[in-house]
Structure 1
């Protein structure tokens, strides 16, 4: 639907500038950061990015209005649940959704995706999604969960073109597209034939 714009936190200017950066915290230091070096295996890195991303997530969530969308992975490695109480969404965004006034969140749409050729760990209405549903409804916010919406499957398959599920999707899409093209082609053919027949009737000598 071209009337909707989907924006993630990483799409904002401030977040885009620091996405994928390695944060180096430094305990017992007034500046709290390593400015000289930043080894990737530095044990002090753990949680160093929490202050920034925590405040960013909270502020971002407070700006949500109306109907919002949450995309969750239903094929997490190690059978991890899609919704986790220690995630940034659970800690900083979900509790800070506006629940009152004209600029409140009215509905949360959960889009559950399952990665091609990977195990299905959870589906809508199961396990951690039941917990999420309960929390959202306690906020007086409408809740809807949908497994593998078609528009997102097409996006996933653009990256996993050779996956088994995507090959099946391609076959169906190709068949439908060919039918569309064929009908258009036949329609054009009949239109041209009809015009040609009229032309012949006009130029042929009348007896």
Structure 2
């Protein structure tokens, strides 16, 4: 028969075991995003702001693309910058000569796809570049894969600087509110005291 002390020790051991199992699971899940998987995408469905289509119509209004990987028969979502990268690598045919490799997100709970494409690599290990509007190192050839690069870049800067201005304004409001504190000495019938407003 177990006494109270033994029950409490058993309970603590059980709690520690369960918490360690959760930690191991989280570490395993995180490492999954770093593993490279073979990827041969087919059956692209390009998602535009006003429609979905199986034909690539450029990147204006493009939200991303869903495709099926023939290597594992799993569906993947490719964000816009990855779609542009695939368009650039395949000269807009969206057909590779051989499988590439990708890292992907953890399992998605979306019904339309299973994983999100994170990074892409050629078989030789070199990176298949994302063509992201925030990238300042794009070549002239890569810029051609943006339908209206100048406008998109301007919109990116406008949003980026608007976010920075919001942060600056918030900081300035904080400074103003914290610098308006009043401090001083007060003399009363019970003596002298120091006061400070919050």
TM-score (norm 1): 0.30
More helix by share: 1
TM-score (norm 2): 0.32
More strand by share: 2
